[in-house]
Amino acid sequence: MSEYQDSAFWFESVEKTETANNPLPASVDVVIIGAGFTGLATALHLLRGGKSVALFDAMKLGHGASGKNGGMVGPSLHKLGLDGLTQAYGRDKALAILQEGMTAIEYFQDFIAEENIDCDLKMTGRLRGVTNIKALKSVIKDSESLMALKGFKFDVVSKADIHSEIGSDLYQGGVIYHQDGGLHPYKLVMALARKVADLGGHIYQETHAQNITKTPSGFQIETSIGTIKSGEVVIASNGYTKKYLNNKLPYFYKRLLPITSAMIATEELPAETINRFFPKRRMHGGNHRLVQYYRASPDGKRVLFGARGTDQWDRALQNGTNLKSHLCKIFPELNDVKIDHSWSGKVAYTFDHTPHLGIQDGLYFAIGYCGSGVTRSIYLARQLSRRILGEGDHQTAFDDLPFKSKPFYSGSPWFMPAVLKWHSFLDHIDGN
């Protein structure tokens, strides 16, 4: 039995939103599969546009990636960087893709303010710590290339100044990204759900969408609680598309790699410790190939740390033990500190490391956030909603990107454990 609570820290002390338990309506204008950030934000816009909407989520509300992530926001700049994107698409398209991330974070902040959503959003910036000088020079070079983007700015932190940013001796320096911040993701899920419910949207949690059939007038959706008709369908199931849709949508799941992302939360720590570890309350990450992210909890009482899971399963004990070992490399004094929570869920990567949205076989979709979905999902939900409503200004830089799969890939990334072990080995020999 796990020594950790197999439950997200975020679920504590947050008022849950009541969802529909009434019988299904016979029909609605739009059915949305997945009630995470994408589904809820899309529903909100569609309801305000005069559409009737029903959302179905196979899990409890907020128990997918939207309610269990690290609560970090930013422009989600592409893994390939400007140089890699330029090689793939040309410089103009590369800049447009990256600028879309800047647009998304600007929109996200305006959205939270205009909707008056209390989700502990604080734009405190992010430190990317770097463990060796060679890597630091590379990170600085990449960051300098991004100065071509409107609104982007960063600062370099030398080793001499690193303790002004983090209470750790691990890093040789780093860079500060000022367009980043943190929030409480589960509070955001619940706030969006309340707004959708208040506008008359039907939210059905723990309800499976078992089949989607095209009809002359739209679609018929068979669910675990009955059948409903709709004019349009939105696929917003992301990392859970194959698992919960009974292999019914191969176009989508063959283009998504569901990856286990795991997190831990320490027990409550003295305020002095948190203030020393995170003097500016920034979000934090490193230059590891195995992505790591960490921060103080919004209430300033715990350290939250996330990384890839040990395998494709949600294993609280194995993931918690593994993540604590990585956390203690950053903060050795936490070696004897108790871990209260260990949890995990699925994010969805794409083969081109880019989110995708559009319409396929009559189904609208916005998926594939590659582990950086908080801001992009809210922004792309707005853009997708505009398209469904027939409004202008719905275009994005992602619209015309080919959504590619790989030969023989069937939606289950069986090769990921080997990839993760290889990346772990490379991190080790780099001293990370």
Looking at residue 419, what is its pLDDT?
A: 60
Q: What is the mean pLDDT of residues 374-381?
A: 97
Q: Is the pLDDT of residue 145 over 70?
A: yes
Q: Is the pLDDT of residue 84 over 90?
A: no
Express each pLDDT in 35-64 by its tens digit.
999 999 999 999 999 999 999 999 999 999
Task: Please name the residue that has the structure tokens 């734009």.
Answer: 123
Query: Does residue 358 lie within any of the structural domains?
Result: yes
Q: Which two tokens stand for residue 335?
A: 């070696």
Q: Is the pLDDT of residue 426 over 60?
A: no
Looking at residue 1, what is its pLDDT?
A: 37
Task: Please name the residue that has the structure tokens 């030969």.
Answer: 407
2 touches 342 (CB < 8 A): yes
What is the pLDDT confidence band of residue 289, given thresholds at 50, 70 and 90?
low
What is the pLDDT confidence band of residue 177, given thresholds at 50, 70 and 90?
very high
Q: Is the pLDDT of residue 428 over 70?
A: no
Per-residue burial over 94-109, b = 16 or more CB atoms within 10 Å of its CB, e = otherwise: bbbbbbbbbbbbbbbb
Express each pLDDT in 90-134 by its tens digit.
999 999 999 999 999 999 999 999 999 999 999 999 999 999 888
Looking at residue 287, what is its pLDDT?
A: 80
Q: What is the mean pLDDT of residues 255-259?
A: 94
CA 382 to CA 404: how far, in whole Å? 24
Question: For 146-160, 288-302, 312-326, which range has the lowest pLDDT when averaged over its residues?
Answer: 312-326
CA 181 to CA 283: how far, in whole Å? 6
Looking at residue 362, what is its pLDDT?
A: 97
Count of structural domains within the chain: 1
> Strand runs (DSSP E) across 236-337, as ranges?
257-266, 283-285, 292-296, 303-308
Q: Cα separations (Å) of 399 from 96, 249, 355, 357, 384?
A: 11, 20, 10, 6, 10
Query: Does residue 217 lie within any of the structural domains?
Result: yes
Q: Is the pLDDT of residue 2 over 70?
A: no
Q: Is the pLDDT of residue 170 over 60?
A: yes
Looking at residue 411, what is its pLDDT?
A: 86
Q: Is the pLDDT of residue 317 over 90?
A: no
Q: Is the pLDDT of residue 65 over 50?
A: yes
Query: Does residue 381 lie within any of the structural domains?
Result: yes
Q: Which two tokens stand for residue 102?
A: 């800047």
Query: Does residue 225 lie within any of the structural domains?
Result: yes
What is the pLDDT confidence band of residue 311, given thresholds at 50, 70 and 90?
confident
Query: Does residue 388 lie within any of the structural domains?
Result: yes
DSSP string, 185-252: HHHHHHHHHHHHHHTT-EEE-S--EEEEEEETTEEEEEETTEEEEEEEEEE--GGGHHHHTTT--HHH
Look up the pTM and report it: 0.94
* Range(s) of the domain holding residue 245: 10-69+186-257+351-411
Q: What is the mean pLDDT of residues 243-255?
A: 89
Looking at residue 422, what is its pLDDT?
A: 46
DSSP string, 104-172: HHHHHHHHHHHTT--S--B---EEEEESSHHHHHHHHHHHHHGGGSTT--EEEEEGGGGGGT-S-S--S
Express each pLDDT in 192-208 by its tens digit.
999 999 999 999 999 99
CATH of the domain at 198: 3.50.50.60
Average pLDDT, the chain: 92
Query: Does residue 137 lie within any of the structural domains?
Result: no
For 227, phi then psi, to 5°, come to: -115, 140
Query: Does residue 421 lie within any of the structural domains?
Result: no
Q: Is the pLDDT of residue 76 over 60?
A: yes
Which three-class secondary structure state does DSSP give residue 318? helix
Query: Does residue 404 lie within any of the structural domains?
Result: yes
Sign of torsion, CA 274 310 313 248? positive
Looking at residue 3, what is its pLDDT?
A: 74
Looking at residue 418, what is its pLDDT?
A: 59
Q: What is the mean pLDDT of residues 162-172?
A: 97
Looking at residue 168, what is its pLDDT?
A: 97
Top-confidence residue, 423 or 153: 153
